[in-house]
Amino acid sequence: MSEFTARPYVLHEANQAQIKQLRPNVAVLPWGATESHNYHLPYGTDVVQATRVGEEAVGRANAMGARCLLLPTVPFGNDNVQLSQMATITMRTSTQQAVLNDVVLSLVMQGIDRLVILNGHGGNEFSPAIRDMVLEHPIFIVRINFYGVAPEALKILENRQGDHANEQETSLMLHLRPEWVAPLETAGDGAETPSKMLKLGSTPNVWYPRDWAASSKDTGHGDPHKATAAKGQHVFDAIVTTLAPILVELSAAKNGDYPYVVRPRR
């Protein structure tokens, strides 16, 4: 008989006895995307990273006394602007909201009133959906874009430009799943097409969707060629070290400890 190794805080692995003993009060939902990442990274890059960050952060938090449960990762993001790339799978915002609503409803009916969306894809925008969820359900929801929580750690990178299949993402994948990373000499340079509308592109708080086929010849934004597994481990550890205490704090909070305020629905 093989050794039993199921982690009680990972829902896909745990059994009912483990869950009953854990008595989770915080659910963590990783959310990724399925899209092209230059020529060298897998389509599931965002899924891999969100899942592994979630596993490590929840494991560390629970070791510090939290009662968090990692839900299965949602593998599809809002990728409408990348549909020109073969095999990209997208979810409309309305679909994401429907999925989120059903997850929230399930949690609330089972007495879990704290949810953390651990987002690994820049195209996912959950703020409006979260506002709607807390209007309809007695739950407190936090959205964390994990890739941005440890900016100091990014100083180790030699090229911090770009936000897709760049040195940061490539280094993380070289640390987490090196067997899925093609040789870096196969990668494009990740150059982004310069904007011909300088005011539009340089004014703070002005946003527009980027047509991906027009914005990059290789789907990357940022040069990945200086990426290393050591840099990836440094960034990963910094992210998890930042996230774990947040989860501990949320799990320990009592309703009314601002901003954790959940009002009963009439």
The mean pLDDT of 120-145, rounded to a whole number, is 96
210 or 24: which leads in pLDDT: 24
Q: What pTM does this model have?
A: 0.96
Domain for residue 213, yes or no?
Answer: yes
Tell me the two tokens of residue 101: 């609503």
Give residue-wise pLDDT tens across range 4-18.
999 999 999 999 999
How many domains does the structure of the chain reveal?
1
Domain for residue 6, yes or no?
Answer: no
Domain for residue 261, yes or no?
Answer: no
Residue 201 pLDDT > 90: no
Least confident of 196-210, 225-239, 250-264: 196-210
Grade residue 76 by pLDDT with cuts at 50, 70 and 90. Answer: very high
- As a whole number of angstroms, the distance between CA 23 and CA 191 comes to 48
The mean pLDDT of 250-264, rounded to a whole number, is 96
Grade residue 264 by pLDDT with cuts at 50, 70 and 90. Answer: confident
User: Which pLDDT belongs to residue 180?
Assistant: 98
User: Which pLDDT belongs to residue 253?
Assistant: 98
Domain for residue 3, yes or no?
Answer: no
CA distances from 219 to 84, 88, 169, 188 (A): 10, 12, 13, 9
High-pLDDT (> 70) share of the chain, %: 100
Residues 252 and 226: beta-carbon distance below 8 Å: no
Domain for residue 51, yes or no?
Answer: yes
Domain for residue 227, yes or no?
Answer: yes
Residues 70 and 11: beta-carbon distance below 8 Å: yes
Residue 216 pLDDT > 80: yes
The mean pLDDT of 235-245, rounded to a whole number, is 98
Name the residue range of residue 240's domain.
16-248
Grade residue 60 by pLDDT with cuts at 50, 70 and 90. Answer: very high
Domain for residue 2, yes or no?
Answer: no
Q: If residue 160 lies in a helix (H) or strand (E), which one and from where to where?
A: none
Give residue-wise pLDDT tens across range 180-193.
999 999 999 999 99
The mean pLDDT of 242-259, rounded to a whole number, is 98
Q: Look up tokens 């009680």; give the residue.
A: 8
Average confidence score pLDDT of the chain: 96
- Give the domain CATH number at 32: 3.40.50.10310
**Following DSSP, what letter does each residue of 65-106 receive, concatenated?**
T--EEEPPPB--B--GGGTTSTT-BB--HHHHHHHHHHHHHH
The mean pLDDT of 173-180, rounded to a whole number, is 98
Domain for residue 9, yes or no?
Answer: no
Give residue-wise pLDDT tens across range 18-41.
999 999 999 999 999 999 999 999
DSSP 152: G
Give the residue from 123, 143, 154 showing the smallest Cα distance to 227.
154
